[in-house]
Amino acid sequence: MSELSINTTQNVKINFKAASVGERIGAYFIDLLIKIAYGVVVFMIFFGLNLEKLFDKLDQWSVMSVILFFYFPIMIYSITLESILEGQTIGKKVLKIKVVKIDGYQAGFGDYLMRWFFRLIDVTIFNGIVAIVIVIISKKGQRLGDMAAGTSVITLKNNINISHTIIEEIGSTYVPTYPLVIKLSDNDMRIIKETFQRAAKKNDYETIQKLVSKIEMVTGIKNQSGDSHDFIRVILKDYNFYTQNM
């Protein structure tokens, strides 16, 4: 299982594990079973209602159009669900894998469309052999569709989320309080956040107070809120604000 290092839009590196070939094949077969189940249901309804008799009254192109209409959802299954579920189909969701952009941005419809288009070469025409070989030899676990779209498929089982990074959610109307926070580095902020989270979880007020004092000493910032917890939360958000807008 290869490592995949993604630079976020805030120049923070997050290391993920690329989904294994086994996980991707497993997700593919789960999705395939869902498609087959849909096809069987459509088939049973179609012939159960004797709708096939309509074919006798239609020309060949009309028959093909009716068949295409009923089975079109199967054709757009992956691109539709990946767009709605932000990089996951039901199979991917079950096996906890996801399509992501390797440049740190959120994959969009155009990326999913590119992957879907190349699926014809990767999976459909060559029965998945091309996809498997290329994923194995690729350093980033990419098939042709991923390479074209600039995406990869990662596993979510290593439980990496926003709380493991220096990233903080801030709204577009956020107003910063401490401009001097830019004296700190990404590594400083990572240490501050991790230390604060551990101390807050244990109600370790002494450690939090020492952390506040250290921040004040290094940056020259003075705590204006009077509350150590709020002060550190603002410091984290301010740093994110300024690094996003530099």
For residue range 76-99, list pLDDT tens digits in order: 999 999 999 989 999 999 999 999
94-139, pLDDT tens digit by residue? 999 999 888 766 788 999 999 999 988 888 888 888 889 999 898 8
> Is 173 in the same domain as 189?
yes
In this structure, what are the phi and psi dihedrals at residue 75, rounded to the nearest 5 degrees? -65, -40
> Is 55 in the same domain as 118?
yes
> Is 140 in the same domain as 170?
no
Q: Is the pTM of this model over 0.75?
A: no
> Is 148 in the same domain as 230?
no
Q: How far apart are CA 69 and CA 226, in angstroms?
A: 65
> Is 112 in the same domain as 228?
no
Q: How far apart are CA 80 and CA 192, in angstroms?
A: 41
State the residue range of the domain holding 99.
3-155
> Is 19 in the same domain as 109?
yes
Q: Which of 111, 136, 155 is the last residue of a domain?
A: 155
Domain count, the chain: 2
Which residues are registered as beta bridge partners of 98? 154
> Is 92 in the same domain as 205?
no
CA dihedral 88, 89, 95, 96 (to 10 degrees): 20
Single-letter amino acid, residue 205: Y
> Is 231 in the same domain as 179?
yes
> Is 27 in the same domain as 8?
yes
> Is 136 in the same domain as 205?
no
Is residue 6 within 8 A of residue 100, CB to CB? The reply is yes
pLDDT of residue 63: 73
Confidence of residue 14 (pLDDT cuts 50, 70, 90): low
45-72, pLDDT tens digit by residue? 877 766 666 666 777 787 788 778 888 9
> Is 39 in the same domain as 134?
yes
CA angle at 140 for the pair 134 and 145, rounded to the nearest 5°? 55
